[in-house]
Amino acid sequence: MSASDPNCVFCKIVAGQIPAKKVHEDDEILVFHDINPWAPVHILLIPKQHIVSMVDVRPEHAPVLGRMMALVPQLMRDLGVTDGYRQVINTGRDGGQEVMHLHMHAFGGPRPWKRG
């Protein structure tokens, strides 16, 4: 799998070709607000590398996935989420994945939420 896909919307965000409200960026990971939030706080965590979905994850991706997971508590705290949150990864068509670049949703803030 190549490092980026020129037709992928999330690769375009990584490349700065389309704007996003960034929450966190480091050498491997980008985090930004979802354009169509379901909850008061709805962020997306992505590896900068173009991995299509969890189906494509290989052992060498474990460190970046672990780092994504471990970032969530700090980011949610910084965004003012104080009473819990939900993390979701949709995988493939039947899993409801619409953007084919692996991403983890994190939803938080007071309910009711639009979905979830």
- Binder to ligand 5GP among 16, 59, 84, 96 (CB under 6 A)? 96
**Shortest reach from residue 67's CB to ligand 5GP, in Å:** 20
Name which of residues 35 to 54 contact ligand 5GP (CB under 6 A): 35-36, 44
HSE on the CB side for 97, CA within 13 Å?
18
Write each residue from 48 to 87 as x if it is in contact with ligand 5GP (CB under 6 A), else as -, in one continuous string.
----------------------------------------
CA distances to 16, 27, 41, 54, 94 from 57, rounded to whole Å, are 25, 19, 27, 5, 18
The one-letter amino acid at 6? P
Please identify which residue in 42, 48, 50, 105 interacts with Zn ion, judged by CB under 5 A.
50
Question: Which of 42, 50, 103, 105 is flagged as catalytic?
Answer: 103
Q: Which of 101, 72, 109, 96 is nearest to 7 (CA)?
A: 101
In this complex, which beta carbon is closest to Zn ion, that of residue 5 or of residue 34?
5
Non-local (6+) Cβ contacts of 97 within 8 A are: 53, 90, 91
Q: By CB under 5 A, name the binding residues for Zn ion.
A: 5, 8, 10-11, 50, 101
Active-site residue list: 103
